[in-house]
Chains A and B, each alone.
Chain A
Amino acid sequence: MNPQSPASLTVDAPWIVMKFGGTSVATLPRWQNIRELVDSRRTEGARVLVVVSALTGITDALKQLCAQGDKGKRNEAAKAIAQRHYELLDHMQLAMPDTLGTRLDELAKLADDGPAALGELAWQAQVQAHGELMSSALGAAFLSHSGLPTQWLDARDCLAAIALPNQNERTRLLSSMVDSRPDPVLAARLATLGEVFITQGFIARESQGRTVLLGRGGSDTSASYFGALLKAQRVEIWTDVAGMFTANPRQVPGARLLQRLDYEEAQEIASTGAKVLHPRCLSPLRESRVPLLIKDTNRPELDGTVIGPEVRAHAPSVKAISARKGITLVSMESVGMWQQVGFLADVFTHFKQHGLSVDLIGSAETNVTVSLDPTENLLDSDAIAALASDLAKVCRVKVIAPCAAITLVGRGMRSLLHTLSGVLAEFGQLRVHMISQSSNNLNLTFVVDEEVVDTLLPHLHDLLIGAGALRTDDSELFGPSWQALYGSGEVPGVATAWWRGSQRTRLLELAAEATPRYVYHLPTVRQQARELNTLGAVDRLHYAVKANTHPAILHALVAEGFAFECVSPGELKAISAIVPEATPLLFTPNFASREDYVFALGTRATVTLDALYPIEHWGEFFRGREIVLRVDLGRGLGHHEKVRTGGSGSKFGLPLDQLANFLQLAEAHGVTVRGLHAHLGSGVLDAGHWGEVYVQLASLAERIGSVTFLNIGGGLGVPSHPGEARLDIAELDRVLREVKAAYPQYQLWMEPGRYLVADAGVLLARATQQKGKGAFRYLGIDTGMNSLIRPALYDAWHEIVNLSRLDEPATALYQVVGPICESGDVLGTDRRLPEAQEGDVMLIAQAGAYGKVMSSHYNLRDEAEEIIIE
């Protein structure tokens, strides 16, 4: 250790409060760690107040001591507790400090005396307070001995408990509240005493001078009280995890570290599930606007979570998703009663009588439903039966359990609703008992059956990211995933995008020549093609050429052995001109005209029908031909309503109830149904879906003797948001092999499009200007929806970077817009980017699919050129 003596602090030097929990103070190495952290804060020029918990396990041991009626056993327990402290002292190679010796003697006496003299509750408080009194005494000795002069401070001399009207003796003594208004006198007094202090969490003193406890989460709360009293620069909670996460990491390993929260959001997250911070400890800080920082003791280099006053300069985003299990709902149904004065008051009186505290409330004209948390009273007494009996006299009661409350937390939740359509659709498939949204606009809670929660939560987390509702792309707000920080090395390696690495300079050169430009990277196309070629169960892969018809891409895929799928005579002509004669073609049109079919039948393409009309009215064209039938399996999937291609709401496919009719007509016209095809939609990331389509097609095919192959379509999703899970190709392979084993008689075809080319293409543009409007900052670029219509059409999310300033800190929040005269000409909303300058090269990623092919001359703007990187 190298004791340094920085210049002494002035009286008004800022305060930093640092709180360390039970495991952080239980061993010598942990105390050495504390010493370094405290020293670094002191070196910053701050007075430091360290707040400590009892050594891990000691509070429980003290509680057990309190529950022990036998004096001998109490004395034994006190000795065992003392022993723990002797051992740590021994490791620290310290002599017994007087401060600790006094505490140990006191504890021994309290154990010996028992509760008689003080009264049961006051005695318990006094006994339990010793955990912190002893750990802080030990800490003061250690820190001072190791060259950091540290004053031991009795928290009870600083924290004065306040009496509240609804308190009984138990809460007054064991779960107390403290007056936390800033106390400049205390700050000034302490400043004269020293520079580093250590005190106790969890304890305070009430007006009669008795020791009181602060209840659960008491040490964090103590730190907050001290932070507020001293008007500290910040309060630091040092714990075993880097902060709050977007979800419980045990349920969602991909949960992201939350780097910035405001007090209200943090309180909401803490109240709805996060265990890292007790919700109580935020209100003292909110009033005095002292920020709170959560840090990982073992990984101090991690940023942690900062909780402070609200900041507007970021995208509205869901911050966290949490689930609380064990919820019981009481649904009360009655006609016309709710309007009667006092009816609800009477109803709630019953809840109070039976000791049941209501959490959520949802109401309609004839129904009020409330939720109850899983308290002991609810689970192990007849409270709910008695309550139901009372309520049954005035309304119909239904007790619904076990439920779980899934809460989305984020400031401005109502303004996010439009982004949640995909998430809400997921809830649409469940029994949702209740939805609650508070007027503070911080949360949205769904109460569902408890059994669905464990699988639902990770899925919802993914959906929220995919929907752009949980803005993990905002690096100011969201840090690394829990898996990346603490996982067991199973983080799927996220490859650096080609344009970020080796090709960046080349792209800047290309942009310097001209913008806007599409640039396609053929090695990426080949890599994707090779990955799909690992799907052993698939007999033939067709590239769905509508995604991108650039000849160089077609040639690359011919070389990888792909067949081609076309949807129009135009595509058939273009592709036939490029690919070799032997390459199989598939014609899968929708609402194609009679002429389209006549043309296609004149080519070598395998023709797909997806309606009754062509076979009914033009059946003779198909006589003697083998065709593929596209069916609608009755449901759709995908990232947006407009890309779903299954279900009655979609124009694709033959509904199953017309299948028999179709087969009859086919028979009548001598047409052989050789293949069955279905395609659910685009952007699907769950491998299981293709397995389902495959099985359903196979079981249909068994009823049609002529079928030899099944085309399960494409729609393989390409995640766009940072942190979104990729489609697991190995899992897809496993799923497909499993079905193939059951139906080996059918060949398996697929027709991926976007999966092959999306990541291979980027759109390069240049920044033209900026505009400020209220809180919004617009960044204009030299092309827009005329080149890339997906954001406007599908709300598609494309990563946008400033390629000229890739390494600069992203501090600005932009709306990235094009020059087209349309309100919808927005390429990206609320993007965290470096401050841009006119002429900067902006790159829009994942533009290889449905980019150029969907572009237009709208506004008579020039089309973007296409450049190939071999």
Chain B
Amino acid sequence: MTIQPRLTQLFRFVRCSYADGVAELAYAFDDGEELVERIRFPHAPAVPATHAAAFEAALKLLHLIAGVSYYKAGVPPKIEVASGPLDDATAELLDQLYLHGLAEFAYRNGLDLRGRIAFPRGGVAPTVGALNLPQRTLVPIGGGKDSLVAVEAIKSIGGEATAVWVGNSALIAACAERTGLPTLNIQRELAPGLFELNRLGAWNGHIPVTAVNSAILAVAAIVYGYDSIAFANERSASAATLEYEGQQVNHQWSKGYAFEQLLGNWLHTHVASDLDYCSLLRPYSELAITRAFAKLTPYFDAFSSCNRNFKLLGPKPADRWCGQCPKCHFVFLALAPFLPKPRLLSIFGRNLLDDENQAAGFDALLEYQDHKPFECVGEGAEARAAMFALSQRPEWQEDALIERFRSEILPRLDPSQLALEPWLKPSGEHRVPARLQAALAAIG
């Protein structure tokens, strides 16, 4: 009988295994066929016996976290883990991740996941010590500005690092190469059965992909030997994009500080006390990061933060920037105060702020007449500060949307809340390990 994904009752974590650099993660709904995801770690060395327990723990967490892609297809009421109940900390991490990481998915599909997600509890937590992992850092590269700022910050203190990314992207590969760091490209193959479920009417939507990638890198850190994983998630990633029936919905929850703390602490207590998981950009606003990026000229013709053109790559700006999506709007606006105007326009190949058709998109960033878009973009107040800064500059003042901002939006704003400078000051909130803290100075 064909499965009807939305009517399933049980989601099962069937098994996970690892051999020759390939992790196999198996899931199933009810009594349905196994859905097997494969993750390939290239040129993976054998895991030494001393690291076996740590490896097993990391692999198990990866199994549990990567399951979110499959769980969401049916969102059944019950979750079962074949290897037995989880210890409380692990169950808590997963309950939180599935609830908050799928909040946007739930909102878009009109679902309420509260009270529905409960990982089995009652297992015993392990005790782990230090593994004396080599002092080097995995830096995930995304093709956008943030990870490049993180890379350059680590390079500036002479830190040893590897640029790592999951999946195929010519854009990311080009950016990674441009960093001059050694590179590591891990492949993730979703279970083919997932596409079949989609065809049969599975629920679909946003999943907390940063959490999945984080779990993959935790495994990689043990396999290859790294003492730290340094993401480039900024301060505003912690802010909710909207509130829906009393629940905070954050498009980028797994890039937020709450998840960083949960996972960081979990790795210390379940994998190795000397494996650090942090975001190097956590103290900074988007504007502080774009200011740092504005100094990294060599990346200007290689990077892109645009999600729509993400798989494209080419020498022309239009190949890398669609110019229509919230990411394009935000990065354009946030870089503008820190770059000479002609240079900025040469990066994008057009002037988005002199195009009346883009008014609605920028309104959304400013949280004017609209809520914040579901994309990884900065806070509305940041966008307003950037827009205000431009509105005071003669070389920008006459552009259509700046002109519109000055005449229509600015009079309704509180002038005391528009300064750019406060956004450029770092906050103290971060989990950057002592070894890497000097790199923060390079960002500003």
Q: B354 — which chain A residues lie within 8 A by C-beta? A: 400
Contact A401 B398 (CB under 8 A): no
Q: A594 — which chain B residues lie within 8 A by C-beta? A: none
Contact B398 A402 (CB under 8 A): no
Contact A379 B343 (CB under 8 A): yes
Contact A397 B394 (CB under 8 A): yes
Instruction: Please measure, in the bound complex, the distance between the C-alpha atom of A379 and the C-alpha atom of B394, giving whole angstroms.
Output: 17
Q: B318 — which chain A residues lie within 8 A by C-beta? A: 451
Does B340 interact with chain A (Cβ within 8 Å)? yes
Which residue of chain A is the closest to B317 with respect to CB atoms? A451
A382-B340, A388-B393 known; A398 vs B398 contact (CB < 8 Å)? yes
Q: A400 — which chain B residues lie within 8 A by C-beta? A: 351, 354
Chain B 382-423 interface 0/1 with A at a Cβ cutoff of 8 Å (1 = within): 000000000001111111000000000000000000000000
- B301 to nearest A CB, angstroms? 12
Instruction: Please measure, in the bound complex, the distance between the C-alpha atom of A491 and the C-alpha atom of B389, giving whole angstroms.
Output: 54
Does B50 interact with chain A (Cβ within 8 Å)? no
- Selected from A383, A449, A454, the residue in CB contact (under 8 A) with B340 is A383
Contact A402 B346 (CB under 8 A): yes
Contact A449 B393 (CB under 8 A): no
Does B426 interact with chain A (Cβ within 8 Å)? no
- B191 to nearest A CB, angstroms? 32
Does A374 interact with chain B (Cβ within 8 Å)? yes
Does B350 interact with chain A (Cβ within 8 Å)? yes
A385-B341, A451-B318 known; A326 vs B396 contact (CB < 8 Å)? no
Contact B349 A379 (CB under 8 A): no
Instruction: Please measure, in the bound complex, the distance between the C-alpha atom of A385 and the C-alpha atom of B338, giving whole angstroms.
Output: 11
A385-B393, A389-B394, A450-B349 known; A399 vs B340 contact (CB < 8 Å)? no
Chain A 387-404 interface 0/1 with B at a Cβ cutoff of 8 Å (1 = within): 111011000111111100
Contact A397 B395 (CB under 8 A): yes
Contact B351 A379 (CB under 8 A): no
A388-B395, A392-B394, A398-B398 known; A381 vs B340 contact (CB < 8 Å)? yes
Contact A374 B342 (CB under 8 A): yes
Contact A401 B394 (CB under 8 A): no
User: Which of B191-229 touch A at CB < 8 Å?
Assistant: none
Contact A402 B340 (CB under 8 A): no
Instruction: Please measure, in the bound complex, the distance between the C-alpha atom of A372 and the C-alpha atom of B343, giving whole angstroms.
Output: 13
Contact A402 B394 (CB under 8 A): no
Instruction: Please measure, in the bound complex, the distance between the C-alpha atom of A391 and the C-alpha atom of B393, giving whole angstroms.
Output: 12
Question: Number of contacting residues on A, CB 8 A?
Answer: 29
Q: B345 — which chain A residues lie within 8 A by C-beta? A: 328, 401-402
Does A490 interact with chain B (Cβ within 8 Å)? no
- A326 to nearest B CB, angstroms? 6
Which residue of chain B is the closest to A331 with respect to CB atoms? B398
- A193 to nearest B CB, angstroms? 50
Q: B369 — which chain A residues lie within 8 A by C-beta? A: none
- A645 to nearest B CB, angstroms? 31
Chain B 313-354 interface 0/1 with A at a Cβ cutoff of 8 Å (1 = within): 000111000000000000000000000111101100111001
- Selected from A326, A380, A388, A449, the residue in CB contact (under 8 A) with B394 is A388
Contact B340 A379 (CB under 8 A): yes
A391-B394, A396-B398, A397-B394 known; A451 vs B349 contact (CB < 8 Å)? yes
Q: A401 — which chain B residues lie within 8 A by C-beta? A: 341-342, 345-346, 351
- A49 to nearest B CB, angstroms? 40
Does B297 interact with chain A (Cβ within 8 Å)? yes
Instruction: Please measure, in the bound complex, the distance between the C-alpha atom of A379 and the C-alpha atom of B341, giving whole angstroms.
Output: 8
- B405 to nearest A CB, angstroms? 15
Q: B343 — which chain A residues lie within 8 A by C-beta? A: 379-380
- A3 to nearest B CB, angstroms? 49
- A539 to nearest B CB, angstroms? 34
Contact B346 A384 (CB under 8 A): no
- Selected from A331, A374, A387, A392, the residue in CB contact (under 8 A) with B346 is A374
Contact A384 B393 (CB under 8 A): no
Q: A398 — which chain B residues lie within 8 A by C-beta? A: 398-399
Instruction: Please measure, in the bound complex, the distance between the C-alpha atom of A454 and the C-alpha atom of B349, giving whole angstroms.
Output: 12
Chain A 488-508 interface 0/1 with B at a Cβ cutoff of 8 Å (1 = within): 000000000000000000000
Contact B349 A384 (CB under 8 A): no
Which residue of chain B is the closest to A328 with respect to CB atoms? B342
Instruction: Please measure, in the bound complex, the distance between the C-alpha atom of A400 and the C-alpha atom of B349, giving whole angstroms.
Output: 12
Instruction: Please measure, in the bound complex, the distance between the C-alpha atom of A379 and the C-alpha atom of B294, giving whole angstroms.
Output: 12
Instruction: Please measure, in the bound complex, the distance between the C-alpha atom of A388 and the C-alpha atom of B398, giving whole angstroms.
Output: 11
- Selected from B341, B346, B349, the residue in CB contact (under 8 A) with A399 is B341
Does A812 interact with chain B (Cβ within 8 Å)? no
Instruction: Please measure, in the bound complex, the distance between the C-alpha atom of A402 and the C-alpha atom of B351, giving whole angstroms.
Output: 7
Q: A392 — which chain B residues lie within 8 A by C-beta? A: 394, 397
Contact A384 B398 (CB under 8 A): no
Instruction: Please measure, in the bound complex, the distance between the C-alpha atom of A740 and the C-alpha atom of B409, giving whole angstroms.
Output: 47
- B389 to nearest A CB, angstroms? 11
- A178 to nearest B CB, angstroms? 34
User: Which of B282-333 touch A at CB < 8 Å?
Assistant: 297, 316-318
- A728 to nearest B CB, angstroms? 24
Contact B350 A384 (CB under 8 A): no
Does A378 interact with chain B (Cβ within 8 Å)? yes
Q: B341 — which chain A residues lie within 8 A by C-beta? A: 328, 384-385, 399, 401
Which residue of chain B is the closest to A391 with respect to CB atoms? B394
A380-B340, A384-B342, A385-B341 known; A402 vs B350 contact (CB < 8 Å)? yes
Contact A384 B399 (CB under 8 A): no
Instruction: Please measure, in the bound complex, the distance between the C-alpha atom of A385 and the C-alpha atom of B343, giving whole angstroms.
Output: 12
- A553 to nearest B CB, angstroms? 48
Instruction: Please measure, in the bound complex, the distance between the C-alpha atom of A326 and the C-alpha atom of B342, giving whole angstroms.
Output: 8
- B398 to nearest A CB, angstroms? 4
Contact B340 A378 (CB under 8 A): yes
Instruction: Please measure, in the bound complex, the distance between the C-alpha atom of A389 and the C-alpha atom of B392, giving whole angstroms.
Output: 10
Instruction: Please measure, in the bound complex, the distance between the C-alpha atom of A454 and the C-alpha atom of B341, giving whole angstroms.
Output: 22
Instruction: Please measure, in the bound complex, the distance between the C-alpha atom of A391 and the C-alpha atom of B396, giving whole angstroms.
Output: 13
A385-B340, A388-B394, A451-B318 known; A379 vs B346 contact (CB < 8 Å)? yes
User: Which of A388-433 touch B at CB < 8 Å?
Assistant: 388-389, 391-392, 396-402
User: Which of A347-402 touch B at CB < 8 Å?
Assistant: 372, 374, 378-385, 387-389, 391-392, 396-402
- B406 to nearest A CB, angstroms? 13
Chain A 451-465 interface 0/1 with B at a Cβ cutoff of 8 Å (1 = within): 100100000000000
Contact B350 A450 (CB under 8 A): yes
Which residue of chain B is the closest to A327 with respect to CB atoms? B342
Instruction: Please measure, in the bound complex, the distance between the C-alpha atom of A381 and the C-alpha atom of B343, giving whole angstroms.
Output: 9
Contact A385 B350 (CB under 8 A): no
Instruction: Please measure, in the bound complex, the distance between the C-alpha atom of A391 and the C-alpha atom of B341, giving whole angstroms.
Output: 16
Max count, chain B CB within 10 A of own CB: residue among A372, A374, A398: A398
Q: A381 — which chain B residues lie within 8 A by C-beta? A: 340
Max count, chain B CB within 10 A of own CB: residue among A374, A378, A379: A379
Which residue of chain B is the closest to A393 with respect to CB atoms? B394
A385-B340, A392-B394 known; A454 vs B346 contact (CB < 8 Å)? no
Which residue of chain A is the closest to B323 with respect to CB atoms? A451
Instruction: Please measure, in the bound complex, the distance between the C-alpha atom of A649 and the C-alpha atom of B316, giving whole angstroms.
Output: 39
Max count, chain A CB within 10 A of own CB: residue among B317, B340, B396, B399: B340
- A397 to nearest B CB, angstroms? 5
Contact A378 B395 (CB under 8 A): no
Q: A399 — which chain B residues lie within 8 A by C-beta? A: 341-342, 395-396, 398-399
Q: B349 — which chain A residues lie within 8 A by C-beta? A: 402, 450-451
Q: A454 — which chain B residues lie within 8 A by C-beta? A: 316
Cβ-closest 3 pairs across A and B: A388-B395, A398-B398, A388-B394
Q: A385-B393, A402-B342 are in contact. List 14 more A-B contacts (CB 8 A).
A: A328-B345, A379-B340, A379-B343, A379-B346, A387-B395, A388-B395, A392-B397, A397-B398, A399-B341, A399-B398, A401-B346, A449-B350, A450-B349, A451-B318
Chosen A-B contacts, 25 in total, with CB atoms closer than 8 Å, are A326-B346, A328-B345, A372-B342, A374-B342, A374-B346, A378-B340, A378-B342, A379-B346, A384-B340, A384-B341, A385-B341, A385-B393, A385-B395, A387-B395, A389-B393, A392-B394, A397-B398, A398-B399, A399-B342, A399-B395, A401-B346, A401-B351, A450-B349, A451-B317, A454-B316
Q: Point out residues on A near B: beta carbons under 8 Å.
A: 326, 328, 331, 372, 374, 378-385, 387-389, 391-392, 396-402, 449-451, 454
